[in-house]
Amino acid sequence: MKNLSADIVVIGGGSTGVGVLRDCAMRGYSAILVERADLAQGTSARFHGLLHSGGRYVVSDHESARECAEENAIVSRIQPQAVELTGGLFVVTPQDDPAFGDKFLAGAQSAGVWVEEITPGTALRQEPRLNPGITRAFRVKDGTVDGWQLAWSAIASAKEHGAQVLTYHRVTQIHSADGAVNGVSATDLRTGEDVRIACSFVLNCAGPWAGDIARAAGCSPVEVVPGRGVMVAMAHRLVNTVVNRCIVPADGDILVPVHTVCVIGTTDHKVSDPDHLEIPRNEVQQMLDAGEVLIPGFRQARALHAWAGARPLIKDDRVSASDTRHMSRGMAIIDHSGRDSLRGLLTIGGGKLTTYRLMAQHMVDFMEEQTGNVHPCTTADEMCPGGEKGHNYLITHRLKDREADRLESPIICECELMNRKMFTDLLKAQPNSSMDDWRRQLRIGMGPCQGGFCSARVAGIAHEESAVDADRATGLLKLFLEHRWIGLWPLLHGDQVRQAALDQWMLHGTLDLDHVPSSKGVEPEVTKPKEPLVVPASDEGKKSTTEVKEGNND
């Protein structure tokens, strides 16, 4: 048993948790973040990558719209490396009511969100693949954001201010005495060691899992309604600007160019268990059909990978519980001192990645109201590490980097242009990580071949560099491919079938990976699978399930 102590324990390593950790640390508190998996492995990475301009909410929710506009500018400034300033368009397709555009313009004006109407011709010149039948178009300041880059740079900032981070630690209990929280127990999932952290405050930022954490503190149930959204990444950027349908927010009305892909999203279904999110084929088809409305020919384009994320909405009695999209997007903070007579515990729910910094500010302000301390929030003023040059992400970055070093280090992941040195450098820093952990940092296997070519190379190099033995290298490779497959098979058609066939011949034919010996359990089980993962048969009835133990987006 390891003993630690801190002023504050933050539970959950998604965007909310890392924002809260950074805010606490910058206000001078000692703080420890506990996350059962890797950082930004749940909802914060299972989204479409949109950094909202606020445009989506100008008709329904002025306050959300205004917050998005302000936070978009702040995040783009303090974490420029995580954000691409793509700009956005709202377009009225032939299926949509042009009059909604007037509501949109009026809403933007009263919310203070920058919008500019342009002619359909101008929009088509900017994005030539757009539906030529669009009747109106509006420019907005949407951007795209890498949820992992955002989380890591916030964490790096928090660490500079003295914060600690425990990933792959599962919270087992929140301790209290005399009606006040006084500690958190957790288990290191990799070593099995127990950790006890003495603290005076716990901030529950576990998102869709916040109810489990409240239960670990002995509180009465917090009802979180996870809203499952399915997204599909296409093999290259069909647009270079975020494209939104100018309608009341609905399914499949956003197309987001992020990194080398573009993502169509999303569906919305109430689910009970955020650890087991289905990726139903009919929802994949629904997304492809929705894309067709924005970009004619979308269905023929190559779909790369599908994933599902869970919106962490706390139940709100004002709307029907089954309609999660129309629940408040604003955050909700549950004060357990009033509700459960337990001081020193706050639970946050709702919100959006775009406003993660503001949510953190509100939560820490709320905590200080209770503790009576007052420190100014400075998270909007200080740059996070890695963004000092002030350059926002550009799609051309990696190609330019490889142009400079292409003769020095061979390319290992061809689709995502990762060279050997990038990998061996990371391997030195994080020798005990899984291939999915490495993937999230370097985008290994996230391109069109989905790891078909690079995954065996990566496992081989890890072994060659003596970071892992042969048994672990094989185990990591098998696990990685199993996880890639989860997001592949619900959408297999067209070009991606040919790729999958070639990959299958190489990995399971030539390399006979199925019969290469390896022990089980190379990585900790973050969740227990509800049912064994099956290699899909052709029947439509079977459903793919995203295991939340590994991030799975594009």
Partner 1 sequence: MFETDSHEANLLARASLDHCVKCTICETQCPVMAVTPAFSGPKYVGPQAERYRHGLSVDHSLDYCSSCGTCTLVCPQGVKIAELNSVARAAMKKDHMPLRDRIISRTTLMGTFGDPVAPIANAVLGFAPARWAVEQVVGIHRDAAMPTFRTQTFTSWWKKHTSPTPTRGKVVYFHGCAGQYFEVETSIKAVEVLERLGFEVLVPKQGCCGLAAQSNGLFDTARDWVTKLSHQLGVEPGTPIVAASASCVGMLKHEAREIMGVEDPALIDVGTRIRDLCEFLLELSEAGELNLDFHPIEMTVPYHAPCQLKGQGMGKPAIDVLRLIPGLTVIDAQATCCGIAGTYGLKKEKYAVGQAVGKPLFDKVKEVNPELAVCDTETCRWQIAKSTGATVVHPIWLIHKSIFGE
Q: Report the residue number, 270 or 302, with the smaller CB distance to partner 1.
A: 302
Q: Measured in whole angstroms, how far is the alpha carbon of residue 58 from the centre of its chain?
A: 24
Q: Report the residue number, 404 or 429, with the smaller CB distance to partner 1.
A: 404
Q: How far is the CB of 417 from partner 1 (least distance, A)?
A: 7
* Separation CA 358–CA 71 (nearest Å): 7
Structure tokens at 442: 């370097």
Q: Report the residue number, 411 or 426, with the smaller CB distance to partner 1.
A: 411
Q: How far is the CB of 362 from partner 1 (least distance, A)?
A: 37
CA-nearest of 221, 228, 213 to 266 is: 228
Q: Report the residue number, 183 or 448, with the smaller CB distance to partner 1.
A: 448
In one-letter notation, the amino acid at residue 95 is Q
Q: Report the residue number, 498 or 530, with the smaller CB distance to partner 1.
A: 498
Q: Which residues of 192-206 are buried (b: 16+ CB within 10 A; e: fewer)?
A: eeebbbebbbbbbbb
**Phi and psi torsions of 517, nearest 5°:** -70, 140
Q: Report the residue number, 93 or 126, with the smaller CB distance to partner 1.
A: 126
* Separation CA 278–CA 550 (nearest Å): 14
- Write out the residues near partner 1 by the rule CB under 8 A: 124-126, 128-129, 235-237, 240, 260, 297, 301-302, 395-396, 398-400, 402-403, 406-407, 411, 414-415, 417, 447-449, 452-453, 495, 498-499, 502
Q: Report the residue number, 31 or 492, with the smaller CB distance to partner 1.
A: 492
Q: Measured in whole angstroms, how far is the alpha carbon of residue 424 from the centre of its chain?
A: 25
Q: Report the residue number, 98 or 297, with the smaller CB distance to partner 1.
A: 297
Using alpha carbons, list the distances in angstroms from residue 135 to 92, 122, 296: 6, 12, 15
Q: Report the residue number, 297 or 431, with the smaller CB distance to partner 1.
A: 297
Using alpha carbons, list the distances in angstroms from residue 331 to 64, 207, 280, 312: 10, 11, 29, 10
Alpha helix (H) residue ranges in 489-532? 495-504
Q: Report the residue number, 265 or 448, with the smaller CB distance to partner 1.
A: 448
DSSP letter string, 177-222? ETTEEEEEEEEETTT--EEEEE-SEEEE--GGGHHHHHHHTTPPPP
Q: How far is the CB of 133 from partner 1 (least distance, A)?
A: 17
Within 8 A by CB and 6+ apart from 291, the residues are 232, 234, 252, 255, 264, 298, 299, 301
Give the count of beta carbons closer than 10 Å to the beta carbon of residue 54. Answer: 29
Within 8 A by CB and 6+ apart from 510, the residues are none
Contact 267, 251 (CB under 8 A): yes
Q: How far is the CB of 454 from partner 1 (least distance, A)?
A: 10
* Separation CA 400–CA 406 (nearest Å): 10
* Separation CA 184–CA 3 (nearest Å): 10
* Separation CA 420–CA 282 (nearest Å): 39
Q: How far is the CB of 405 from partner 1 (least distance, A)?
A: 12
